[in-house]
Amino acid sequence: MRSSMLPLAALIITYLGVVEVEAFTVSTSRGKKIIGDKTRLSAIPDEQRVVITGAGVVSGCGCDLPTFVESVWGGKSSLGRISRFSLEEFPINCEVASEVPEEMFTPKPWFTNFKSIRSNDRYTHFAVASSKMALADAGLEVGSTDPSRLGVMIGSAFGGAETFERETLKLHANPSRPKVSPFTIPALLGNTASGIVGIECEAQGPNYSVISACASGSHCIGEAAEMIASGEADMMLAGGTEATVTPLVCAGFDAMKAMCTAFNDEPKKASRPFDKKRAGFVMGEGAGVVVLESLASAKKRGAKIYCELSGYGASCDAHHITTPAPEGRGLANAMERALKGSGVEKMDVNYINAHGTSTAYNDKFETMAIKTVFGEHATKKDGNFVVSSTKGVTGHTLGAAGGIEAIIAALSIYNGKVPPTINQEEADEDCDLDYVPNVARDMEVKAAMSTNLGFGGHNAALLFTKYEE
């Protein structure tokens, strides 16, 4: 039994940590919200139930849904040697990334205002393309819905990183007479993707961005669902976007020793979540956007429904700016919150699309968080509970990860098949769950959770369930 999305935000996040809030009624600018209420599914109005009816993706492993699905579920890695910038001019220790190649993606077909292509960053190009793909997948055309009831919430960790680096070089090359573009500021802002998607998709409803590093996409989806459940919108385009295969961003992560340097000669083996030989994450880029819609709206127009978004949890480690909290307690907090607000039983959750970055700490602590929340259900390895990370195929797309991985979780439910964790070659005693090694697995997924963690101690968990009348 699931409750409305209304009770999902049963927390207050502050700079000092997280304060848990018990069930109560609170008035907000969005209207009255019932927090922590265990209302039965049958009593929830269809206007307050939130479903996914469309998905769009741009990634190194596919810039359309069929190609993406074939790559992710087929375990076909998109990782290769960096070509977006010169490794001779900007040498870094990690020479591997998942890039969106120009022969696979061009923004022109996706923009009605072609001048907007030149004035915006690639991260915005990805967002516009993914959003329009998602609308088409949902059986919608731009302008076919009430614009005041369609909103946008797309996040990014870095915004226009390419624009920032390019224009900074111009400034320093000729500081007395800099030839900096007048479009620099809007192009690099982290909220521009949401704004341009709003323009291109004629969406006049709620529109803003959540910036929480690698949890941005998931937070945007969770908050967008709240907009629908509280009556502010009928549909939301939500997810994340990122274009950070750039010299500065890669050099910065490289200096932190966060990226993999052990497989430069074998790029497709570089990202190996939960494996004994994992040695750091591999940069990716792209975007993932879903159409969230009230069940009432979806039913009215006879839309296909991938799944229902039944829970959303957010938390803060309040521990360290980059290192996850010991034993994954912050992530466990977010997962519990997603469950608490949904009414879904833990035994009904049988798939987790993990953050799984292929770093020593993340994979160890995420495994601990999963075991803390799900206990024996997760550890007995009887085939009724599995975990996988798809970053070995996609790379780590940072702020886009939550959007891309929400799509993977939704399609796992819809198609009855979970994707593999590739490059699983040697077991690690700290990572001792069923990670669906190397080969996709057919199984009925009743409820799936997608988890993401971000610098700053930000955690997000989205809980998806099989749609039932």
Would you please indicate which residues are annotated as catalytic (active-site) residues? 214, 355, 396
Which amino acid, residue 402?
Answer: G
Question: What whole-number distance in Å separates Cα of residue 96 and Cα of residue 104?
Answer: 19
Q: Which two tokens stand for residue 45?
A: 């109005």
Question: What whole-number distance in Å separates Cα of residue 330 and Cα of residue 315?
Answer: 6
Q: Which residues of 42-62 are buried (b: 16+ CB within 10 A; e: fewer)?
A: eebeeebbbbbbbbbbbbbbb
Q: Find out whether 69 and 411 touch, Cβ atoms under 8 Å.
A: yes
Q: Nearest 5°: CA angle at 448, between 443 and 450?
A: 130
411 Rama sector, left if φ>0, alpha if ψ -120 to 50, beta otherwise: alpha
Beta bridge partners of 180: none
Beta bridge partners of 281: 259
Question: What whole-number distance in Å separates Cα of residue 243 and Cα of residue 121?
Answer: 8
- Max distance between CA atoms of the chain, in angstroms, equals 68
Strands (E) located in 182-304: 235-242, 286-294
Q: Find out whether 221 and 239 touch, Cβ atoms under 8 Å.
A: yes
Would strands 11-14 and 17-20 be described as parallel, antiparallel, or unpaired? antiparallel
Beta bridge partners of 214: none
Question: What whole-number distance in Å separates Cα of residue 342 and Cα of residue 446?
Answer: 14
**3-state SS, residue 111:** coil
Q: Find out whether 446 and 466 touch, Cβ atoms under 8 Å.
A: yes
Which amino acid, residue 389?
Answer: S
Q: Which two tokens stand for residue 175?
A: 């500081």
Closest CA to 131 of 242, 294, 239, 289: 289
| Whole-Å CA distances, 16 to 19, 50, 219, 317, 327 | 9, 31, 19, 10, 20
Around 312, how many Cα atoms within 13 Å sit in the side-chain half-sphere?
27
Question: What are the φ and ψ backbone dihedral angles of 313, each rounded to 5 degrees?
Answer: -130, 140
